[in-house]
Amino acid sequence: MILVGIKQISCIDGVLKSSPDDFVVDELMLYEPCGEGEHLYLSVRKTNMSHDELVRQIAREFGVSKRDVGVAGRKDLRAVTTQMISVYLPRKEISTPETIGSIEVLASNWHTNKLRLGHLSGNRFSIRLREIDHRNPRNPRNPQTYELIKERFFSLSQTGLPNLFGPQRFGNHGNNHKLGLAVILEDWDAVVKELLCGEERHHSFAKEGEYKKAVDAWPFGQPAQRNVLEALAHGKSPEQACKTIAKSLRKLWVNAFQSAVFNEVLGCRLKDGTWNTILEGDVVWNHEGGGRTFVATPEDVRSVAIEERISTFSISPTGPLWGAKMRLPTENVLKLEQSVLSSFDVDAEHLAKIKKIAKGARRPLRVQVANQVMEVGADHVGDFVELKFELPAGSYATVVIDKLLRGDV
């Protein structure tokens, strides 16, 4: 009877990140520093701090350019996060501080290379959900809802997690992918419009073409917007104004567009139920082989060995991170991916123009959620459900939470 009651509840309300301590992330390193070299590796913990601010403070502390600071991954702002940072310090004797501003330095060592994005095996999460709606009483110890969350949580170990990009990939305003599309299409008017959109007084000045007034009213901390406005105020064209935008930011936008297309493709395969199976023509991801891929043949699709490898999470189908050098699938899989890309009015010619900032890659459509622990507890704030788990690098804990609360993605 309890199971019947569970099935009747589809969506659960809950609060995520009511405080930074409710969202804890620990980076799982791909390798340890060897103890010698010109790059100082720092294990650091930050609380409620953006990635850019972390890099800025580290660079300032050691008197280096931000380009000399390496990271393996970007971490959430509203959270407590532990990660490795590298600082290029050739021929320097360094006394490592215990703190850098509000950043805690937990350990340090030397290594021979700079940390790069992707130089991690994954992340360990400890997340507390609060104010969970159980349709009276509002109590996470209510057995129906507790069992439903538990059922959904541990079912991920069997089915895998749809490897969607989370909302943070698309920026605070949720429009980074729109900016990326405009950059790819070289629609500079659209870039300016999207970059300066909003409902506040300074946005109104920009809409009305009062660029000087917009600059004066625009809040600090948004250099891209201010640089574009200053260029427009001096009579520059939208294209010329957009050239003031940092290459790293334009790359971030284009990457967000790639992510949006991937999410669309994955959404299609979720609807038809093929997101966790291998189709003829799929580019297949080898989870145990460092991301090596192969294209599935008809023989592969019919193979018992392939089915076994799918069930054990050895392999998964992939989706596109479109770029000129991306490995292409074949058959109906290719038709689907091309159809989704075409819906954005983007083609191979556009991709060739941006190959320097978006070469293209494949991303598995699903990932395994590992080392899962679920507990119910209470503290000075109130009741909570605590979820502990690990995800591969590049996968989003917010997608796990969405799956648990909504029952779908």
Amino acid identity at 243: K
DSSP string, 26-47: EEEESS---S-SSEEEEEEEEE
Q: How far, in Å, CA of 182 to CA of 260, rounded? A: 13
Q: Residue 78's CB: how many other CB atoms inside 10 A?
A: 16
Contact 254, 355 (CB under 8 A): no
Catalytic position from the list 22, 68, 76, 383: 76
CA 134 to chain centre: 30
Q: What is the dihedral of CA 260, 266, 272, 278, to 10 degrees?
A: 150
Residue position matching structure tokens 């050239």:
243
- Six token digits for residue 376: 């119910």
Q: How far, in Å, CA of 58 to CA of 393, rounded? A: 23
Contact 364, 285 (CB under 8 A): yes
3-state secondary structure 127-157: EEEECCCCCCCCCCCCHHHHHHHHHHHHHHH
Degrees to nearest 5, angle at CA 179 with 173 and 182: 155
User: Active-site residue 133, yes or no?
Assistant: no
Q: How far, in Å, CA of 316 to CA of 366, rounded? A: 7
**Which of 120, 195, 154, 62 lies closest to 369, judged by CA?**
154
Cross-strand bridge partners of residue 16: 129
Q: Among all residues, which ones are annotated catalytic?
A: 76
